[in-house]
């Protein structure tokens, strides 16, 4: 009876400890997100960017209202007087009659909801110029491309990196070190242009740019195959440019873990190398490898700016580049917030996985 109550007590204590740990992590990350938003809003207000964004929103609304009133009010003087009255009302509604530091809470709310009006130069494929529509349309395109690259690099890193770590100094290990150095040094934009020149213009296996053919295939299977065909070159380029670091990092983590005392003790017990590798080395090395995976996912979802631009891939990276070139302050702000939010969510997922993988973390 005592053992049963004791086990229940220990189980309850562990569950409470996990919940407390995750609650503290979530609160910490929420503070980080709010701090970034506050600093962003303060910088925007102090530099006058928020005034320009709000004035652009007001002018866009006035343009739409003027078109509607022009069909009802024929007298130009009456129309101008009505528009001036509406303009003053919008200025008060958006807080442009107040200093920027008074508008900071409202600006933070607008950033959170992506309610930053319309983009200057960008629009969706359906013609919408709302920033929230543009971001939500481009994000899935980046997910399709970058998550595929991430999965391939993770598999290569885990397979080749672990294999090279088990045979340090071998021909495979030397090749991995050389390939990692070359891969890390390759600029993705230069490699992308080289791949386009070779496989799109000389050999003509892949299309040079775009996400679909023009016009795209009407059937679902044909459209999917067309997407794979267009994604081939950017995926190959990013895998070549990024896989070397994944393989070498995994190799270094596994080699460092394999030199620990508990691994030596496991070998001294007479356990097989395969059992030692997977139970004692890989299991302990899972946490740093997982850190690399989750944070890599957060970075990848931001898009490969130059790679997406070179291949004409309509993702978040290309959108960021185009918004910077067009000096679209509202769109740049929205993308910065989305990238920060992705990082915070990825960190919280990582904290959950840490607690599940390593019980020591909760203490």
Please report, for the domain that includes residue 325, its CATH number: 1.10.3720.10
- Supply the pLDDT for residue 31: 79
- Supply the pLDDT for residue 95: 77
- Supply the pLDDT for residue 355: 67
Higher pLDDT, residue 252 or 37: 252
Question: What span, in angstroms and rounded, lies between the C-alpha atoms of 122 and 130?
Answer: 9
Question: What span, in angstroms and rounded, lies between the C-alpha atoms of 83 and 219?
Answer: 49
Q: Across residues 80-94, what is the average pLDDT?
A: 82
81 within a domain of the structure (yes/no): yes
DSSP three-state, residue 96: coil
- Supply the pLDDT for residue 347: 77
Question: What span, in angstroms and rounded, lies between the C-alpha atoms of 316 and 302?
Answer: 6
- Supply the pLDDT for residue 17: 59
Q: How many domains does the chain have?
A: 2
- Supply the pLDDT for residue 307: 83
- Supply the pLDDT for residue 283: 75
- Per cent of the chain over pLDDT 90 is 1
120 within a domain of the structure (yes/no): no
**Is a pLDDT exceeding 80 seen at residue 161?**
yes
- Asked whether the beta carbons of 199 and 206 are under 8 A apart, the reply is yes
Return the structure tokens found at 323.
């918004």
Determine the angle formed by the axes of helices 49-70 and 100-112, rounding to 10 degrees. Answer: 70
**Same domain, yes or no, for 312 and 173?**
yes
**Same domain, yes or no, for 23 and 156?**
no
**Same domain, yes or no, for 108 and 135?**
no
pLDDT band for 310, please (50, 70, 90 cuts): confident
- Per cent of the chain over pLDDT 70 is 90
**Same domain, yes or no, for 174 and 310?**
yes
Most confidently modeled of 24-28, 35-39, 211-215?
A: 211-215
Question: What span, in angstroms and rounded, lies between the C-alpha atoms of 300 and 246?
Answer: 13
235 within a domain of the structure (yes/no): yes
**Same domain, yes or no, for 80 and 17?**
yes
Residues 6+ apart with CB under 8 A from 200: 206, 207, 208, 233
Instruction: Write down the pTM of the prediction.
Output: 0.73
**Same domain, yes or no, for 194 and 73?**
no
**Same domain, yes or no, for 224 and 331?**
yes
pLDDT band for 2, please (50, 70, 90 cuts): very low
- Asked whether the beta carbons of 294 and 304 are under 8 A apart, the reply is no
Most confidently modeled of 4-8, 171-175, 260-264?
A: 171-175
Q: Across residues 325-341, what is the average pLDDT?
A: 78
Listed residue (32, 145, 140, 118) closest to 334, CA to CA? 118
- Supply the pLDDT for residue 361: 52
Higher pLDDT, residue 119 or 316: 316
**Is a pLDDT exceeding 80 seen at residue 162?**
yes
DSSP three-state, residue 86: helix
pLDDT band for 209, please (50, 70, 90 cuts): confident
**Same domain, yes or no, for 104 and 151?**
no
- Supply the pLDDT for residue 4: 55
Q: Across residues 27-44, what is the average pLDDT?
A: 76
- Sign, CA torsion 254/258/262/268: positive
Q: Which domain holds residue 25?
A: 2-112
pLDDT band for 12, please (50, 70, 90 cuts): low
Q: What Rg value do the Cα atoms of the chain yield, rounded?
A: 27
**Same domain, yes or no, for 326 and 244?**
yes
**Same domain, yes or no, for 98 and 144?**
no
Higher pLDDT, residue 226 or 167: 226
354 within a domain of the structure (yes/no): yes
- Supply the pLDDT for residue 13: 45
Task: Mark which of 112, 140, 168 sits at the end of a domain.
Answer: 112
- Supply the pLDDT for residue 5: 47
Higher pLDDT, residue 209 or 22: 209
Most confidently modeled of 194-198, 258-262, 356-360?
A: 194-198
pLDDT tens-digit profile of 275-294?
777 777 777 777 777 777 77
Listed residue (139, 158, 184) closest to 314, CA to CA? 139
- Asked whether the beta carbons of 233 and 195 are under 8 A apart, the reply is yes
**Is a pLDDT exceeding 50 seen at residue 112?**
yes
């Amino acid at each position: 009876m005592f053992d049963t109550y004791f086990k229940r007590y220990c189980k309850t204590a562990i569950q409470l400890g996990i919940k407390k740990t995750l609650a503290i992590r979530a609160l910490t990350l929420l503070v980080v997100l709010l701090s970034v938003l506050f600093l962003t809003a303060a910088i925007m207000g102090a530099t006058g960017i928020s005034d320009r964004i709000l004035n652009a929103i007001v002018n866009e609304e006035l343009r739409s209202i003027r078109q509607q009133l022009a069909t009802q009010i024929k007298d130009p003087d009456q129309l101008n007087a009505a528009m001036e009255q509406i303009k003053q009302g919008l200025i008060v509604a958006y807080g442009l009659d107040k200093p920027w530091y008074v508008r900071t809470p409202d600006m933070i709310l607008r950033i959170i909801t992506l309610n930053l009006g319309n983009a200057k130069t960008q629009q969706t494929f359906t013609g919408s110029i709302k920033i929230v529509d543009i971001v939500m349309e481009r994000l899935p395109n980046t997910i399709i491309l970058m998550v595929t690259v991430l999965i391939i690099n993770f598999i290569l890193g885990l397979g080749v990196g672990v294999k090279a770590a088990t045979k340090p100094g071998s021909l495979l290990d030397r090749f991995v070190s050389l390939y990692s150095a070359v891969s890390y040094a390759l600029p993705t934009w230069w490699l992308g242009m080289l791949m386009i020149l070779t496989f799109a213009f000389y050999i003509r296996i892949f299309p040079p740019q775009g996400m679909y053919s023009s016009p795209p295939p009407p059937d679902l299977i044909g459209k999917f195959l067309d997407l794979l065909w267009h994604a081939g070159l950017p995926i190959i380029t990013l895998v070549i440019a990024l896989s070397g670091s994944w393989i070498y990092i995994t190799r270094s983590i596994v080699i460092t873990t394999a030199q620990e005392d508990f691994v030596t003790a496991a070998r001294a017990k007479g356990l097989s190398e395969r059992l030692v590798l997977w139970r004692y080395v890989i299991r302990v090395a899972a946490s740093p490898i997982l850190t690399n995976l989750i944070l890599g996912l957060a970075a990848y979802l931001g898009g490969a700016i130059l790679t997406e631009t070179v291949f004409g891939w309509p993702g978040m990276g290309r959108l960021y580049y185009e918004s910077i070139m067009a000096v679209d302050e509202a769109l740049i702000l929205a993308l910065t917030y989305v990238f920060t939010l992705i990082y915070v969510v990825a960190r919280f997922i990582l904290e959950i996985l840490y607690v599940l993988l390593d019980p020591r973390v909760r203490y």
